[in-house]
Amino acid sequence: MCFARPVTCTGSYTVSSPEEAAALNCNIITGDLTVPADFNGELIMTQLIEIQGNFRNAGSSTASITHFPNLEKAGSLRFSGTNTALGSINFDKLREVDGFVYFSDQRGPLSETIFPSLEVVRGNELILSCAIRYNGNQQLTTVSFPMLQSIENGPCCFEGEHFHELLHFSTTTKKLSVTSQLRIFRRCH
């Protein structure tokens, strides 16, 4: 049986359009992948299996779909700014994040289970001292990590009045091991 070697793209990339994303025919990106504030359209990268650096969806991107159906591993994930179409974020096969997962100041509704297969967040790089951080996401109704088994370094930080009722870290097969702590912040008014 013959298998094609993965295509590795060395360095960091910024994709400013759906066409640029489609043209970046990589299985592995050794640096960062950034979606700038002026991106408009569908961000679909079916061939990508690993981002060794950070994925950043920056600013006020209006990406109507962010879909990485085969991405299994990433350095860190950052969604910050005023993204408006976050209900369509999907990382179906993402199992491992070496650094952090960060959602901040999102204006659109977030999907309940963005990471249905995420098993481990290593916390080798933290964001504001946290391995998983959600803040300023007022339309979020549920935070769900159904397969999460381990957060190796750094706490989970959720800022907002409503998060204490919304956290679901249950898994059907294994017990979640959080080596640090879960912190829930309440905004002071």
Domain extent at residue 153: 9-181
Would residue 64 count as lying in a domain?
yes
Would residue 94 count as lying in a domain?
yes
pLDDT of residue 140: 62
Would residue 4 count as lying in a domain?
no
pLDDT band at 3 (very low <50, low <70, confident <90, very high): low
Interval 111-162: pLDDT, tens: 667 788 999 999 999 998 889 888 766 666 566 778 888 889 988 877 765 5
The alpha carbon torsion through 27, 28, 32, 38 (nearest 10 deg) reads: 0
Would residue 186 count as lying in a domain?
no
Residues 119/150, Cβ–Cβ less than 8 Å: yes
Domains identified in the chain, total number: 1
Would residue 47 count as lying in a domain?
yes
Q: What is the b/e burial string over 42-78, where b = at least 16 CB atoms within 10 angstroms of the residue's CB?
A: ebbbebbbbbbbbbbbbeebebeebbbebbbbbbbbb
Would residue 189 count as lying in a domain?
no
pTM for the full model?
0.81
Interval 56-74: pLDDT, tens: 887 555 555 678 889 999 9
